[in-house]
Amino acid sequence: MSDAAVAGGRTARRGRLGTEARDARRALQLVLAAIWLLDAVLQDQSFMYSKAFSQMIGGTAAGNPGVIARPITWNANLVEQHAVLLNTVFATIQLLIGLGIAFRPTVRVALAGSIAWACAVWWFGEGLGGVLSGAANPFNGAPGAVIIYALLAVLLWPADRVARAPFTAARAVGAHVARALWLVLWLSLAYFALTPANRAPQALTGVITAMETGEPGWLIALDNGAASLVRGQGLAASVFLAAALVVIAAGVYLRPPAAKATLVLAVVVAAVIWVFGEALGGILTGVGTDPNSGPLLALLALAYWPLRTTVPGEEKAA
């Protein structure tokens, strides 16, 4: 085969790899858009138009420093006084973000808007996920599900800083920055798992059983089984969870086969957290505002899945 034919074949394969990479990012963007649309639907539930919703917001101020807590309390009072108007605005914003990400011409504007909205909700609606109050626990959504929306928007931004990214999340910010963000997130989860409050003998059992109210019977049965399994084993469970989270954090620095194994572990851990710790985010109870962190952590793991960035035969040619 002539050199020109070989070069042409390699060029075609490079084009296919580039298309695969673009399609992977677009697929992840569409999943993120679907989650935002789900949030909009959940925000439109009758519970969100009641005083109970504003009380739930106000409850996130507990344990936070005054400079963080006072704006949360102000926001909760404002929502209580104008529940219908403000909740309609909240639901509409999330709807527009979801539709904007799903529609290619507006994806940049929607992702930028999602970052701003997520940061505002993280403070005024989630109390910074409890990271300053001592209540943060990977099993209850720490460091706050909504901040992961912002992280995903940054990593899935439709821009390419590198010609051949090793994984989708590296395309917009580069591999070094993407890996550092992953490391910080998962190591922070490991830290929260080991805080004194979460090492208490009944801590994890309490987190699991606290989510049972309003859940369907089958999910309550699953949660009760999990709660029984870890009853009195708070320290051991925290250490085991923290060890798994540290392995996950380091995984993106490993070679592709090992990295894939740790990413599978990340998806499994995210699923366990979502089912047993977050009770599917409470989306079946009528009071859940979002699916919580589990699905977002799994989506994040997919954004770090290694891409085939070399053309077969190039290594030998080199």
For residues 187 and 246, the answer to whether their CB atoms sit within 8 Å is yes
Alpha-carbon distance 305 to 53, whole Å?
Answer: 38
Domain range annotation of the chain: 10-307
What are the pLDDT digits (tens) for 285-294?
989 999 999 9
Residue 169 burial (10 A CB sphere; 0-12, 13-18, 19+): buried
Whether residue 29 is predicted with pLDDT greater than 80 in this model: the reply is yes
Rounded average pLDDT over 32-55: 96
Rounded average pLDDT over 146-160: 96
Q: How far is CA 16 from the centre of its chain?
A: 30
Within 8 A by CB and 6+ apart from 131, the residues are 142, 143, 144, 188, 192
Q: Which pLDDT does position 7 carry in this prediction?
A: 43
For residues 120 and 94, the answer to whether their CB atoms sit within 8 Å is no
For residues 269 and 245, the answer to whether their CB atoms sit within 8 Å is yes
What are the pLDDT digits (tens) for 214-256?
889 999 998 889 888 889 888 999 999 999 999 999 999 999 9
Rounded average pLDDT over 166-180: 96
Query: Percent of the chain, pLDDT > 90?
Result: 74
195 backbone dihedrals φ, ψ, rounded to 5°: -65, 155
Whether residue 34 is predicted with pLDDT greater than 80 in this model: the reply is yes
Q: Which pLDDT does position 37 carry in this prediction?
A: 98
Q: Which pLDDT does position 309 carry in this prediction?
A: 60
For residues 194 and 238, the answer to whether their CB atoms sit within 8 Å is yes
Q: Which pLDDT does position 22 carry in this prediction?
A: 67
Whether residue 315 is predicted with pLDDT greater than 50 in this model: the reply is no
pTM value? 0.89
Sign of CA dihedral 106, 108, 110, 111: positive
Burial pattern 137-147, b for ≥16 Cβ within 10 A else e, equals: bbbbbbbbbbb
Q: How far is CA 309 from the centre of its chain?
A: 26
Alpha-carbon distance 1 to 43, whole Å?
Answer: 62
Q: Which pLDDT does position 212 carry in this prediction?
A: 81
What are the pLDDT digits (tens) for 295-312?
999 999 999 999 976 434
- Which of left, alpha, beta for 311 (phi over 0: left; psi -120 to 50: alpha)? beta
Q: Which pLDDT does position 3 carry in this prediction?
A: 53
Mean pLDDT, the chain, whole residue set: 89
306 backbone dihedrals φ, ψ, rounded to 5°: -60, 135
Sign of CA dihedral 79, 80, 84, 87: positive
* Cis before 143? omega within 30: yes
Residue with tokens 């930028």: 112
